[in-house]
A and B are shown apart, each in its own frame.
Chain A
């Protein structure tokens, strides 16, 4: 039947995508071709699974089912199906392949969720094929020291693009058109430049332009200690995400309060990045000092999110 074939193709595809992440033992698995052993096992799996998928909500199972344990768990799942999807059971952290069948069968009847063996740190082996999605940088915040005391009133008077309201905030807010950015200039000579999109060089160029404006206004401004303080990126994984499942399996990193904020706040430890994950599949990454941290964080979270993709 079409359905079975498409299901099988789906498994094969995702095996090719991020198999190494799940099969911790198979370090040698590189490239898109899955091991023969695994694919034959999987095709037997899909035929058995087909009946179960008729009744089951498999949203919590990872795409790649590595061992027999998962199959027996899935069977137990069908028995416990009606006791509700979102039970608040604590999930035991276990690594794939370490649990023996009897244990996992017991555990599966206790917990209504299968044990997703997702380690939240960086994957043990580099993924052969990356997600193919590149997060776009949306905002870059940088600071620079102009190294001379500034008279904010005179700056606000002489510059067209400046606003200064000492009662509200003790800095001049200056804006330039190209690149479209905003700067906060303090009387000590320190400056914060925000709003640059897409590259650190843009932020640096914008900061230099602000420094040049201040120079032309008669102050001996320099350009010292330019530093990127924060970078924000965003991307779309193109499938909806089960946030309730994600918060149960990654409890120590995630915070999901639908009554306060519709997205899940995931605080990744390495690299130290905060991700806002939304049900629509959009992900916002912030807190990076380097562009590579954003890319690394996304490559870390993508396999986890794929596990919560609803089939």
Chain B
């Protein structure tokens, strides 16, 4: 540090800051003795302060890291689902819109991932490219409920019109997912995809007519239908393979069916029940018994003639009902009194009142007593095929007797007093609470 000014020779040199640059200036003559470097090193930058990114003058703001990661994830999803490049770009732009929306910018990272899935789902629906929510769910690793809440919020916030897709739309791509080509599996298991699609679509149409499809998750039903179709195309060899084995043969990814395998089993049972009901109407069986575990070889014939068989089954059922109502007129009082008597008074029975969830056989002389949960004159007894939720009522709803009130009645003091603690009670309560607090 210089101590004397070279101009005037005084020793009064002080340090001064001019525009935050250090200078040594002589007080007497004002000349600059020496100054610091214009270019500073990091260690000299004591007065500098970093400018935050959002206040910077950078014109093109870089997108945040999570958004970039989101883009790559969304693109990966599109590629797995084999969407066209137009759809992929639509998805990406929709994702950017959604990501930057105030409702979604601050949510957790998992929710942002789900948001990406929702964008894919929405674009697929708009372009009539059928993708089930369950598929997106298993690709992202979330369940339908979580996906559903985010999807609903997403459509509401961005004002997107949602269109429903039917189960038949999802069918073809679903069947093609199973790897059952002749090169991939053994000869006995192989099935050309088109045949599988045709057989499965016939089965699902039948299921829709028999009320198994409406209101249910589509994926378990699709799995059940594909399995039954595959079995029925070569029953002698394939009957012994269970559903799980079939999925392994067809190399279906485990996460897609594993969670819903209970539902798949239930749908299989329901499908077989329907097939049995129709199989019974086949004229060349002459009314012989048709069991759920042996109905698969008959599936081919049943599906070919399903419309005619449906008509016959419904007609026979109505015939049955007419006969029953005639015999019921003679023994009317007994019937209305108790359900348990019905099985005795009616001689001819058809299993129209089958409860699909009950593990039971399909033999004709099945008792109506299995249906004692429903009141005797319930409307469902008139139909042969019904949505299973109508037939199996889990709990009998007891409606409490309705009291007639005017709203302005007198309220008795005694009733109100019963809701108020006495002084002793209060003291006891406080004492107990203090003791519990002390113990804790």
Query: Footprint of B on A, CB under 8 Å?
Result: 3, 6, 53-55, 57, 84-88, 157-161, 176, 178-180, 197-205, 208-209, 212-213, 216-217, 238-244, 247-248, 251, 255-263, 278-281, 310
Contact = CB atoms under 8 A, between A and B. Distances in A.
A201 B407 contact: yes
Nearest to A53: B311
A257 B315 contact: no
A202 B405 CA distance: 6
B416 A54 contact: no
Given A213-B416, A216-B417, A262 B215 contact: yes
B407 A205 contact: yes
A11 to B, nearest CB: 17
B209 A57 contact: yes
A158 B315 CA distance: 68
Contact of B216 (A55, A179, A258): A258
- Residue of B128, B213, B214, B406 ringed by the most chain A CB atoms within 10 A: B214
Interface in B123-166: 128, 132-134, 144-145, 148, 151-152, 162-166
A266 to B, nearest CB: 13
Nearest to B402: A198
B421 interface: yes
Contacts of B216: 258, 262
20 contacts: A54-B308, A84-B205, A85-B208, A86-B167, A88-B165, A157-B426, A157-B429, A159-B419, A160-B418, A160-B419, A198-B402, A199-B402, A204-B407, A205-B405, A208-B411, A244-B208, A257-B164, A258-B214, A258-B217, A260-B148
A261 B167 CA distance: 15
Contacts of B152: 260
A127 to B, nearest CB: 22
Contact of B383 (A53, A85, A86, A240): A240
A276 B118 CA distance: 24
Contacts of A205: 405, 407-409, 411
Nearest to B308: A54
Contacts of A180: 400
Contact of A216 (B205, B218, B416, B426): B416
B188 to A, nearest CB: 30
B218 A259 contact: yes
Contacts of B318: 6
A174 B319 CA distance: 57
Nearest to B433: A157
A259 B148 contact: yes
A88 B166 contact: yes
Contact of B162 (A57, A84, A203, A255): A255
Contacts of A208: 407, 411
A158 to B, nearest CB: 6
Given A201-B406, A205-B407, A240-B386, 17 more contacts: A6-B318, A84-B201, A87-B166, A88-B169, A159-B420, A161-B419, A178-B415, A179-B405, A202-B403, A202-B407, A239-B379, A242-B214, A258-B214, A259-B132, A279-B211, A279-B387, A281-B390
Contacts of B195: none
B168 interface: yes
A86 B167 CA distance: 8
A3 B315 contact: yes
Contact of A197 (B128, B168, B402): B402
B237 interface: no
B144 A260 contact: yes
A87 B168 contact: yes
A125 B92 CA distance: 50
B387 A280 contact: yes
Given A88-B128, A209-B415, A263 B307 contact: no
A212 B315 contact: no
Contact of A158 (B406, B418, B420): B420
A278 B214 CA distance: 9
B281 to A, nearest CB: 14
A280 B389 CA distance: 7
A42 B135 CA distance: 47
A279 B419 contact: no
Contacts of A85: 168, 205, 208
Interface string B366-389: 000000000000010001001101
A110 to B, nearest CB: 16
- Listed from nearest, the 7 A-B pairs whose CB atoms lie closest are A86-B166, A201-B407, A204-B407, A260-B148, A279-B215, A262-B215, A238-B379
Nearest to A237: B379
| Most chain A C-beta atoms within 10 Å of own C-beta, residue among B166, B169, B205, B409 | B166
A235 to B, nearest CB: 13
> Looking at A204, A251, A257, which has the most chain B CB atoms within 10 Å of its CB?
A257
Nearest to A162: B419
A311 to B, nearest CB: 9
